Amino acid sequence: MRSSINGPRVAVTAAGMLALAGFAGGTGYDFEPDTEGAETARAAVGAAPAAPSARDDESSRATAGERAGLQAEARRLEARLRARVPRGGYIVVDRAENRLYLRRGDEVRVDALVSTGSGAVLREADGARRTWVFDTPAGRRSVLGKRSDPVWVKPDWAFLEEGRPIPSDWTERREAGVLGEFALDLGDGYLIHGTLYERLLGRSVTHGCIRVGRDDLRVLHRESRIGTPVFIF
Amino acid sequence: MDGPRSFRRRRAAALTTVTVAATALVLALSGSRGETRPFTDPATDPSPEIDTLRLLVESLEIESALAESGEFYLVLDPDAFSLSLFLDGAPLRSYEIGDLQTGAPRRLFIRGERVDPRERSWTGAKLRPERRVERVEIVSDAVEPPDPSGTVGWIPPTPLELNPTPERFVVTYDGGVSLEVVAGEPRDSTAAPTRRVRGLATLDRLRLLWPGWEARVRIRVILPREDAGALYRSLPAGSHLLVRP
């Protein structure tokens, strides 16, 4: 005899429908505008500590003292953070957008379309079987040197990449005119320099250096100093 | 053949199951209208101003530590409606926030416990959907000498061509905070979702059904399309997030 009551099946079906309804509805999160806490924390730093009145007890004096201590600590930390921002201007390179900014405080002095590393990998088939990855490295660097009319001393990979033998005479490595009017040396062989291929600005085509158009390069060279920080992200 | 005892057992089981399901339904429906727990509860706190100052000092200490870490970090300032990328304390890029919301996860209809995203910094940024990365591999003995005419044979795509701006993407951080970025003006946020957005939302819901999933709070920001795209293409992997009080 089969039971006419199929409770478990009904319940499971109901639970399943409930789950589906929950699954299908909404994004999985309940959202609400977040203005909570806004202004109160920063405003509290500037607020003058309440002067304890004659009626204040020990506890309220302690609270006023703690408030003053916290306000002083907050100001000290804020000053420490402000001091970390480079004062004399700095260069920012956004590799993904292929853009370079020369910033001085909140002001952007140069907003340039550039070319950064292609990300290509070159493998040496013979010999030492070396590998090069043509990325522009992220992180903080600084301008170590400034050159006018720079001459490119071609490294080994430049010959391998062109299918040419590596020369034993170093003079064969020198190539003038390909780096533009100026170069800013960032160390480890990385430069900010000009280019013959301005039509490729905005694309990731370099071997790790940062190529800049002629007009922007002139401003960069003029406004940067030895030691100017360069942030690459 | 079933006897009366068996019939009674099945009926009892059925009633139990139906009761459990009904209770779950009641709980679920009541949970959907539950109030979100505020980050701080002034009613039970005798000195909210002191607590606010403590929170600020703690946040500034965290920000100072991040500034000295040599690693990239995003700072979300709900007061200023700004989102900025920093390294060594220097602002690198700011993204203008059009709208900002915080959300708590919901399993079925029940809202989960919300964490205060300001209580610490969040690490290990991961993007969903992931960015496309193209790496061409060249082997030196297979290289043809360059064309003497100077013609460039292959021009790589621009960043925008390689990674078009998604309508919506999520940055997840270790420990339970995720940042959802919606591209467009605030008024566009209710526009019909694209297939990719629907897919992402479905993935979210699937993850929320998974017991170990720790996305305990989601911060949704609406950025201008250009800013959203720039953030998507540029956010350093593994970077940190700090939400200022």
ipTM of the complex: 0.78
DSSP letters for A82-140: HHHS-TT-EEEEETTTTEEEEEETTEEEEEEEEE-B---EEE-SSTT--EEE--PPPEE
User: Looking at CA atoms only, how far is residue B7 from chain A in angstroms?
Assistant: 7
- pLDDT over 50 (residue B72): yes
Contacts of B70 in chain A (CB under 8 A): 139-140
Contact A5 B88 (CB under 8 A): no
In whole angstroms, how far apart are CA B187 and each of B97, B179, B230? Answer: 13, 19, 21
- pLDDT over 70 (residue B138): yes
| Facing residue for B111 by CB, picked from A19, A30, A33 | A30
State the Cα–Cα distance between residues B238 and B69, nearest whole angstrom.
13
Contact by Cβ (8 Å): B219, B102: yes
Q: Would you call A144 an interface residue with chain B, using a CB distance cutoff of 8 Å?
A: no
Average pLDDT of the segment spanning B51-67? 94
Q: Which of A146-150, B33-37, B64-68 has the lowest mean pLDDT?
A: B33-37
Residue B151: the pLDDT is 55
B interface test, pick of A29, A87, A114, A175 with most B CB neighbours within 10 Å: A29
| Facing residue for A7 by CB, picked from B17, B39, B90 | B17
Residue A25: the pLDDT is 45
Residue A41: the pLDDT is 57
Residue A1: the pLDDT is 45
With 0-12 / 13-18 / 19 or more C-beta atoms within 10 angstroms meaning exposed / middle / buried, residue A87 is: exposed
The more confidently predicted of residues B30 and B108 is: B108
Contact A28 B78 (CB under 8 A): no
Residue B167: the pLDDT is 94
User: Looking at CA atoms only, how far is residue B63 from chain A in angstroms?
Assistant: 8
Q: With a cut of 50, list the residues of chain A below it in pLDDT.
A: 1-4, 19-25, 35-40
User: Looking at CA atoms only, how far is residue B245 from chain A in angstroms?
Assistant: 6
User: Looking at CA atoms only, how far is residue A126 from chain B in angstroms?
Assistant: 8
Contacts of B111 in chain A (CB under 8 A): 30
Residue A113: the pLDDT is 97
Residue A12: the pLDDT is 57
Q: Would you call A94 an interface residue with chain B, using a CB distance cutoff of 8 Å?
A: yes
Residue B168: the pLDDT is 94
State the Cα–Cα distance between residues B209 and A115, nearest whole angstrom.
44
Contacts of A139 in chain B (CB under 8 A): 70, 87
pLDDT band for position B175 (cuts 50, 70, 90)? confident
- pLDDT over 50 (residue B48): yes
Residue B37: the pLDDT is 40
User: Looking at CA atoms only, how far is residue A35 from chain B in angstroms?
Assistant: 7
State the Cα–Cα distance between residues A193 and A114, nearest whole angstrom.
10
Average pLDDT of the segment spanning B229-239? 95
Contact B143 A26 (CB under 8 A): no
Average pLDDT of the segment spanning B213-234? 86
Residue of B nearest to A124 (CA): B140
- Across chain B, mean pLDDT equals 76
Contacts of A73 in chain B (CB under 8 A): 57
Strand runs (DSSP E) across B39-191, as ranges? 72-77, 82-87, 90-96, 99-107, 110-111, 126-128, 137-139, 168-172, 177-183
Q: What tokens appear for B76 in the block?
A: 């979300």
Which tens digits make up the pLDDT trace of B84-126?
999 999 999 999 999 888 877 765 555 555 567 787 889 999 9
Which stretches within B33-182 are classed as H helix?
48-67, 159-162
Residue A22: the pLDDT is 47
- pLDDT over 50 (residue B191): no
| Facing residue for B141 by CB, picked from A30, A125, A197 | A125
Residue B42: the pLDDT is 47
| Facing residue for A38 by CB, picked from B79, B92, B142 | B79
CA dihedral A158, A160, A163, A169 (to 10 degrees): 70
- pLDDT over 60 (residue B231): yes
pLDDT band for position B34 (cuts 50, 70, 90)? very low
State the Cα–Cα distance between residues B169 and B184, nearest whole angstrom.
12
> Across the A/B interface, how many CB contacts are shorter than 8 Å?
253
Residue A177: the pLDDT is 93
State the Cα–Cα distance between residues B199 and A99, nearest whole angstrom.
32
